[in-house]
Structure 1
């Protein structure tokens, strides 16, 4: 007959006199250059009938896409979002009579070459019935800046725990727990940097000088909670 196993008592979260614990928090704040700039392009058309409005929208949309694609590797991602073609009803008169049709298509482009960014945004805004919003600056999810922030937060937690132990005339013995409370890169505002938005262009616009855009620095934050045991101090 086997002897019943004795259950080990759960460890106390506050340690024991023989293995006192230290609980600390480590934080890191970095300010780094962005890696990506995103711009939103809205192409618009208007026509007396549905076919005309749709044809104009298709032509302008193709022109915008062709222009963006000429920048090659400088454009990391190009996506078409919402598209709409809606009637405008007359305010007066009986029945539902259509006055005109309005078309809209939204395009998003992400660029990694910020030198080309100013030229592209200016050329896009110079197109007929085309609006540009942005840029919004960001880091990639796998950016080395996130890793560096996490590592700095851990180092700060260890250093802080050592300082507490030294104040008691002792030293750290072992790491009990390390908890990642999250690394975050606050999302950039809809329009960052020097350029806010550029309104619709007209065919009569002259070629504008490329905008000089200054990237918006990104703030990266990391935080960890850590628990250590230390050698019992002589109090």
Structure 2
């Protein structure tokens, strides 16, 4: 029976510790847009009505793209009074309303068209896109498998340099399991902001040609092996 209780191995059963790493590039799977709808009016009710109407316009436009929209969520909504102070009196000068919407798309052809159409709406701001992989994307598993293969290959090369061979795997640990900061598995890109004009153009603007930015998937593992006695 192999004794693996020795933390540093023995002359007859030396231990070998290596790190395997993989950094792969994948096409993004989703793109996220952040949309801010605004309204301003001297009357609270009027500002709220304008905000509701513009919010409905954006939601209906996004829903018209069907399955290309993977997620559509409404975030924070606010109605804020703007005070105008004269002497000792504080009076409300206007009311500002905002509502934030998040849209996640999986069809990048529709993305360019939707971005242009939303950016063409009155009092509407659009930011993005942020490209990403899904949390359950096969890309993450592929990177982890390659990291393990790289660790085994590296260990074999070290053992071969000593005239030895790998005998057994003692431990395989993800870096996050060893109380070290886990690597960032995907790099998201910020595509910039597209503030809408004050009013819609009379003719529809051409769809933006948005080039998806590849995502970097990074995986690291620590591996410890027992090898045969080296030939020194």
| TM-score with structure 2 setting the length | 0.92
Q: Which residue of 2 aligns with 1:188?
A: 188
List gaps (5 residues or longer) in structure 1. Answer: 1-8
Alignment partner of 1:199 is 2:198: no
Q: 1:99 maps to what in 2?
A: 93
- SS of residue paired to 2:136: coil
* 1:73 and 2:67 correspond: yes
Provide structure 2 residue ranges, at least 5 long, that are not aligned to the other structure.
176-181
Which moved further from structure 2: 115-124 or 94-103?
A: 94-103
- 1:62-95 CA-to-partner distances (Å, cap 9, x unmatched) read 0100000000000000000111001111143431
For 1:154 and 1:39, the matched residues in 2 are separated by: 35
The alignment partner of 1:212 has SS state of: coil
The equivalent residue for 1:83 is 77
Determine the C-alpha separation between the residues in 2 that align with 1:10 and 1:118: 58
For 1:139, the equivalent position in structure 2 comes to 133
Aligned counterpart, 2:211: 214
- 1:184 is paired with a residue of what secondary structure? coil
Give 1:117's aligned residue.
111
Stretches of 4+ aligned residues off by more than 4 angstroms: none
Instruction: Quote the Cα distance in structure 2 between the aligned partners of 1:88 and 1:33.
Output: 45
Mapped contact 1:40–1:134 kept (Cα < 8 A): yes
Instruction: Within 5 Å, give how 1:12-27 maps onto structure 2.
Output: 12-27=6-21
Summarize deviations over 1:19-54 as a string: whole Å, max 9, x none.
Answer: 111100000000111001000110000111100000
Shift of 1:187: 4.5
* Counterpart residue number, 1:5: none
Write the distance in 2 (CA, Å) between the matches of 1:204 and 1:128. Answer: 6
The equivalent of 1:169 in structure 2 is: 163
Per-residue deviation at 1:199?
Answer: 1.1
Aligned match for 1:229, one of 223, 226, 230: 226
Corresponding residue for residue 60 of structure 1:
54
Aligned to 2:44: 50
Aligned partners of 1:94 and 1:186: how far apart in 2? 55
Indicate the residue corresponding to 1:157 in structure 2: 151
The higher radius of gyration belongs to 1
Whole-angstrom CA distance in 2 between matches of 1:123 and 1:83 = 22
Q: Work out the number of aligned pairs and report it.
A: 223
Q: Distance in 1 between matches of 2:118 and 2:64?
A: 12
Cα gap change, 1:40 to 1:151, in 2 (>3 Å): same
